[in-house]
Amino acid sequence: MLKKKCADNEGGKTPASRNISPAGYVIPVLLILFLIGYIFFQQLQTDDLYLSYKMTMDTMVELRFSESSAKPGSQIEEEVLNEIERLEMLFSRSIDTSDVSRINAAAGKTPVQVSDEVLYVTGRAAKYAEVSDGKFDPTVGPLVDLWGFLGQEYRVPSAAEVENVLPLVDYNLVEIAPEQSAVYLTQENMVLELGGVAKGYIVDRALEILNASGVEHAFINAGGDIGLIGSNPDGDPWRIGVTHPREHGEIIAVISASGGSVVTSGDYQRSFEEDGIKYHHILDPDTGLPARKLASVTIIAETATEADALSTAVFVLGPDKGLDLIEKLPTAEGILITPEIEILVSSGLEGLVELNP
């Protein structure tokens, strides 16, 4: 394990930090994610890549891929974006007719028959909940809503409010019936929240379409969930920059990767300030409060689905237990950054990460 201690920037505002305001924050947040992001790639510009930007899933999706002889780039782009939008219609809690919304509406009442995609992702979410001892929990929805993170109507709930909804946060209360293609939340007022894994799955599906279209080099960034095919067209690995969690717009580490996925969870991505205290969206399912042991977690894995779930799980677990979990998993590596800006790198990444303290 590699460790590196860096100077902290105490008192510095993070990109998404703000005072509570009833309006006027949605566009600035999206622009920040697009222009600086919390993780982005660095490479020399090349004419060999087809480039596309599209606002979808409430974020900016960046798509770069090498031209294929099988299909025009515009057709490949259209197929990828259509699939992303189709899957959003299944997973979004903001769409009343989505499978996830229908599951939540029937909580404590009846199982709901769902699409193969939602059934699969719910099963994967349950797996990562089990692996992380519940620190990744797809039933954290009541807490997300209590803090106002879904609709960006931020508030600090009272201790009594948090205690009241904690019994509803338990992945063991989700029943999955593959034979009936059904999902059932066994308690009324439970809320299935697949946001911590669905975006990664959507990136994986986009990569499948690119692969099937004969694309040999590709980069997709969906609001920080990054998926890769092959190397950069010049033959070098893609260079993925990890944003410093306390230095606005600065890069603290660079990862070289060819294929696979890279996903970061950080306390600066969706956050607000009240009475001088910053609160962020990565909630500990056991306490109902923002996890405080880490400032940023970057996971490198074979799939974005795995990287997405593990980045949240490891963030909540903290540096010791989080790094232990990564070391037990053969398909994942990680970079963990503490609030004191100590950088912890899993054993499989040693020599593959450039640190820029």
Confidence of residue 1 (pLDDT cuts 50, 70, 90): low
Closest CA to 277 of 15, 24, 20, 22: 20
* Rounded distance between C-alpha atoms, residue 91 and residue 98, angstroms: 6
Residues 243 and 252: beta-carbon distance below 8 Å:
yes
Which of these ranges, 13-17, 51-55, 233-237, has the smallest mean pLDDT?
13-17
- pLDDT computed for residue 17 by the predictor: 30
Model confidence at 344: pLDDT above 70:
yes
Model confidence at 279: pLDDT above 60:
yes
Sheet containing 353-355, strands listed edge to edge, beginning at the edge strand earlier in sequence: 39-42, 238-243, 251-257, 353-355
- pLDDT computed for residue 187 by the predictor: 98
- pLDDT computed for residue 5 by the predictor: 38
Q: What is the pLDDT of residues 12-51, one digit of tens each?
A: 322 333 333 333 333 344 443 443 333 344 333 445 799 9
Kindly state the average pLDDT of the residues 283-306. Answer: 98
Model confidence at 53: pLDDT above 90:
yes
Mean pLDDT, rounded, of the chain? 88
- For the chain, what percent of residues have pLDDT higher than 70? 87
* Rounded distance between C-alpha atoms, residue 33 and residue 188, angstroms: 35
Confidence of residue 357 (pLDDT cuts 50, 70, 90): low
Q: What is the pLDDT of residues 60-74, one digit of tens each?
A: 999 999 988 889 999
Which of these ranges, 24-38, 230-244, 281-295, 310-324, has the smallest mean pLDDT?
24-38
Confidence of residue 285 (pLDDT cuts 50, 70, 90): very high
Model confidence at 166: pLDDT above 90:
yes
Which of these ranges, 122-126, 148-152, 254-258, has the smallest mean pLDDT?
148-152
Domains annotated on the chain, with CATH? 2-72+196-355 (3.10.520.10), 99-194 (1.10.3980.10)
Kindly state the average pLDDT of the residues 310-331. Answer: 98
This prediction has a pTM of 0.87
Rounded to 5°, the CA angle 167-186-168 comes to 15
